[in-house]
Amino acid sequence: MNYKIKPALIIIDMQNGFISEGGSFDKLGYEIAKYQQIIPKLVAAYNQAKSLGLPVIFTKAIREKSGIDLLEKDHQILPQKRRERIKKIPLCVKDSWDAKLIDQFKEKLSDLVLFKRRDSVFQDTELELWLKSLKVNTLLFSGIDTSICVESSLRDGFNRGWDVILLSDLTASLVDNFYQTTLSEVKENYGLVFNSDDFFERLAKKDKSYLLKVDD
């Protein structure tokens, strides 16, 4: 079966605070190598998407220095790990090195960069307006963390009416079981899961229409 799609590549939270040595997650002792391993494939996919003329949207998780937008301002009940992160290190404070995209994705004028303050890229952001303006009907999800911000965003996109595709080799989780569960959930309930090489091989551009070839 072939699907006529107009996709946008969403690259979630590839920031120093999560991925780079010396960033907040590194200082907190997280195994950031699991995030770092997707960088080469994600750079290649970014370049391929740009060469095809696909919109690319980066997201950046940010926090105000004042702490006004911290989760604990809204929640009495928070998992211990999240509460500990808030208390120990200010993560991705706006305008800090921590909040910047990693060097491989230094902001370019041709790219859209979305600032978000919660897990989903849709919550209290302009993303929906941008996608409608671009006439996008299919969202390609990548970035980190697979089971948190990526999955939250994918579910929100689906429930708002977009078709969704998870590019499995372009996303990573600190917990392997969580990563596998997200892939299974997407396949079972939301959309398609592709290896990025397979996806781009199946995507054909003709007369400014994109056809995605999917096995029946």
> Any idea what the CATH number is for the domain that residue 165 is in?
3.40.50.850
Cβ contacts of residue 80 below 8 Å, gap of 6+? none
Q: Is the dihedral of CA 199, 39, 100, 143 positive or negative?
A: positive
Helix (H) or strand (E) holding 180: helix 176-185
Domain that holds residue 133: 2-213
Q: Which amino acid, residue 132? A: K
Tell me the pLDDT of the chain (216 aa) as tens digits: 888 999 999 999 999 999 999 999 999 889 999 999 999 999 999 999 999 999 999 999 988 665 555 555 565 555 666 554 555 577 889 989 999 999 999 877 678 999 998 889 998 899 999 999 999 999 999 999 999 999 999 999 999 999 999 999 999 999 999 999 999 999 999 999 999 999 999 998 876 679 999 986
- Edge-to-edge order in the sheet of strand 192-194: 112-116, 56-61, 7-12, 138-144, 163-172, 192-194
- 106-153: per-residue pLDDT in tens? 877 678 999 998 889 998 899 999 999 999 999 999 999 999 999 999
Number of domains in the chain: 1
Q: In this structure, what DSSP letter does residue 112 have?
A: E
Instruction: Give the whole-angstrom CA distance, residue 190 versus residue 120.
Output: 16
What is the CA angle 101-182-189, rounded to 5?
125
